[in-house]
Amino acid sequence: MARTTPLRWRDIANDLLRRIESGDLSPGDGAAVRRRLPPEKELETHYHASRNTVRDALSWLGQQGYVVSEQGKGTFVVHRPNIVHVTLSAVELGLAPGRGSGEWYNRDAFIPANREVTPSAVKVEVQEGTKVIARYLQTNPGSEFISRHQELFLDDRPWALQTSFYPLDFATGGASRLLYPRDIPEGAVAYLGETLGYSEVGYHDEIKARVPDENEKRFFSLGDSAADVVFETVRTAYSPDGKAFRLTVTVWPADRTRLHYNDGQVPDDVLRTPGVGPTEDTPHESPPAESAGSG
């Protein structure tokens, strides 16, 4: 409804915020497309306000994290998805790949049991490896690899992208199911143990934050702002002789993912529900005295 009197920038900002929180301008829970605010000209007309007043309102909303402006594209409502806590160091908990059914055993991570992970169909390619892949898997540049790629959905919403790489000679040497475009129910590590005698005695993780590529922007519904970044985890699995035999690259949107590691004695409830913290029944150490030094 058109307004009859000019409003101050804060009044406009408050009204836009009300519309965002009521759902009128919200991107929606799990929406695949970002919601864009009306163009500035429309807002000027709607609020009977000057260009500078509207811009001041949008600037304040941006500073508060409700919207983000992208040059040449417009101003978008910031989607604030629920945070998912992922434990990457789950081996000793019996929750890692190959440790039984019912868990996310073939995805190299553990999430709480009340969440459902659904993978897409497997996309398999045979490709010449880059220098980076060859370095991780300790082979010569130009070597051929099998890549197995999947899109992962958590409770039916886009959640992660994962690609695993294996030397091509694994398939020619007996592990031919690596070339089939379908999941390996027992997990690839267990399958390689059965067919080629490989066993995983350790893995090394490398984690970095970076700007998403166009495919990642599309899948995760990310924009071009500084907040729209992804985590990339690179896990290299090693056999008893120190040979790298599997490389898995997983991409997670940083706005909805928290990555956890555990080491040593950690309370069971923290292991099972990372990010929540120990319950009131869990004993806590007393805080150090103010005069205590740090070591």
- Is 136 a residue whose pLDDT tops 90? yes
CB 128 within 8 A of CB 144: yes
pLDDT score for 112: 66
Beta strands in 56-171 (DSSP E): 67-70, 74-77, 84-87, 117-119, 123-128, 144-154, 157-167
Task: Please tell me the distance from the alpha carbon of residue 180 to that of residue 122, in angstroms, as a whole number.
Answer: 8
Supply the pLDDT for residue 197. Answer: 92
Centroid of chain to Cα 125: 23
Query: If pLDDT is split at 50, 70 and 90, which confidence band does 29 have?
Result: very low
Tell me, what's the pLDDT at 22?
77
What is the DSSP pairing of strand 202-210 with strand 230-238?
A: antiparallel
| Entry field: residues in the chain | 295
Q: Are 149 and 134 in contact (CB under 8 A)?
A: no
What is the reported pLDDT for 89? 75
pTM assigned to the model:
0.69
The mean pLDDT of the chain is: 80
Lowest mean pLDDT among 194-198, 235-239, 270-274, 287-291: 287-291
Give the pLDDT mean for 19-46.
74
* SS3 track for 132-160: HHHHHCCCCCCCEEEEEEEEEEECCEEEE
CA dist 129 and 124 (Å) reads 14
Q: What are phi and psi of 130, to 5 degrees?
A: -75, 170
Q: pLDDT band at 271, cuts 50/70/90?
A: confident
pLDDT: which is higher, 279 or 264: 264
- pLDDT confidence tier of residue 184, bands split at 50, 70 and 90: confident
pLDDT tens-digit series, residues 208-259: 999 999 999 999 988 777 778 999 999 998 999 999 999 999 999 998 888 9
What would the mean pLDDT of 255-267 be, rounded to a whole number?
A: 84
